[in-house]
Chain A
Amino acid sequence: MLLRSPLGQARGLGSAKEGVQHWWMQRITAVALLPLSLWFVFSVATHQLVPHDAIVAWLHNPLVAAVLVFYFAVLFYHSALGVQVVVEDYVGGQFKKLATLMLFKLAHGLVAVIAIIAVLKVAFGGM
């Protein structure tokens, strides 16, 4: 016999309390990515960054390096959240789903770290 109230049962069995977090972070990062993406594509389009000297000089501007690192952090976070939903929807089977989610989460983390370290290396390196 269950002694818990219906509300208590629902609380015990209900969501892991992370669903809203995922949804909310997806929205926050989406809003941040609107100006960041516009800034990024039009900066790259207007600066002549094809010579190596040019991109080194561009990333030596601390404001550019900072915004670019922030852009990458938000971008890869948003991407990880989105890819997670796609995997959850289309990959069947508990083990396969879990393994795919882990793989993509870790890959997003790794690529984000690579991109950010690359920006910092150029930003702090010599001209």
Chain B
Amino acid sequence: MSAKDPAANRPLSPFMLGQYYRFQLSSALSFLHRITGVGLAIGSLGLAAWVLCAAMGPEQYAAYTGFAASPFGQFLLICWSWALFYHACNGVRHLVWDGGKAFERSQVDLGGWIVVLSSLALTAVLWLVVCFA
């Protein structure tokens, strides 16, 4: 810490992480909610690009779907769909908390695991639908 300007060296939010903070499901899922939220915000650019390419014409749309069908495109789509389901499921968990319910330690942990498993299950169902529909 500099004696001249303590505010300049003030640590930013997740500074407790790693050094002082023991891993726990709740905090990990909380970070994940933010990370997936930011990821989905970036992913929504891809969503806008999708309809924009459709509006621009068949060639631009073919370029978009060609990229989406490429291995990297498929990887991005799978990540996006899981991020969406995770953020949605954990969002429901937050709405339950907003209602003042499920604050017991055991309920918080159980809810966390339900969110993890249901987000993975929904992603699997979606991609099975994509493959077999």
Contacts and interface: CB of A to CB of B under 8 A. Distances in A.
B95 interface: yes
Contacts of B40: 79
A46 to B, nearest CB: 5
Given A55-B61, A92-B12, A122 B95 contact: no
A27 B37 contact: no
Contacts of B126: 41-42, 45
Given A33-B88, A52-B61, A82-B37, A111 B54 contact: no
Interface of B: 12-13, 34, 37-38, 40-41, 44-45, 47-48, 51-52, 54-55, 57-58, 61-62, 65, 69, 81, 84, 88, 91-92, 94-95, 98, 126, 129-130, 133
Interface string A64-80: 00001000100110010
A70 to B, nearest CB: 14
B54 A30 contact: no
A33 B40 CA distance: 13
Given A27-B98, A86-B34, A90-B12, A114 B52 contact: yes
Contact of A86 (B37, B51, B98): B37
B52 A118 contact: yes
Interface in A36-62: 37-38, 41-42, 45-46, 50, 52, 55-56, 59
Given A46-B129, A46-B133, A118-B55, A111 B44 contact: yes
Given A82-B38, A83-B37, 11 more contacts: A30-B95, A37-B88, A38-B88, A46-B129, A50-B65, A52-B61, A79-B40, A82-B41, A86-B34, A90-B13, A118-B52
B48 A79 contact: no
Contacts of A46: 129, 133
Given A41-B81, A46-B133, A52-B54, A83 B38 contact: yes
